[in-house]
Amino acid sequence: MIQVAVPTRGSIPVYEALRKLTLDIADRINERFARRDALPVVDLRVTQLQQYEVAGLMRAADMAIVTPTRDGMNLVSLEFSVINGDRPTDLILSAGAGATDHLGPWSDIVDGDQVLSIAGAIKDSLGRLDVDRAERARRRCQAASCLQSAAWTRSFSEHLAQATEPSSPQQPHQPNRAPERSLAVLGGEV
**Using one digit for the tens of pLDDT, what is the confidence trace for 16-33?**
888 889 899 999 999 999
Mean pLDDT in residue range 30-40: 90
Residue that wins the pLDDT comparison between 73 and 84: 84
57 has pLDDT over 80: yes
Contacts of 167 (CB under 8 A, 6+ apart): none
| 93 φ, ψ (degrees, to nearest 5) | -130, 135
Residue that wins the pLDDT comparison between 181 and 55: 55
Let me know if domain 2-186 sits in CATH 3.30.230.10.
no
Q: Report the run of H or E that residue 4 belongs to, with start and end.
A: strand 2-4
pTM of the predicted structure, to 2 decimals: 0.72
CB 3 within 8 Å of CB 185: yes
- Choice among 29-33, 37-41, 66-70, 79-83 with the minimum mean pLDDT: 66-70
pLDDT tens, position by position, 161-173: 777 776 544 444 3
> With bands split at pLDDT 50, 70 and 90, how would you rate the model's confidence at 46?
confident
- Whole-angstrom distance between the N-terminal and C-terminal Cα of the chain? 16
How much is the pLDDT for 127? 95
Instruction: Tell whether the torsion through CA atoms of 23, 170, 174 and 88 is positive or negative.
Output: positive
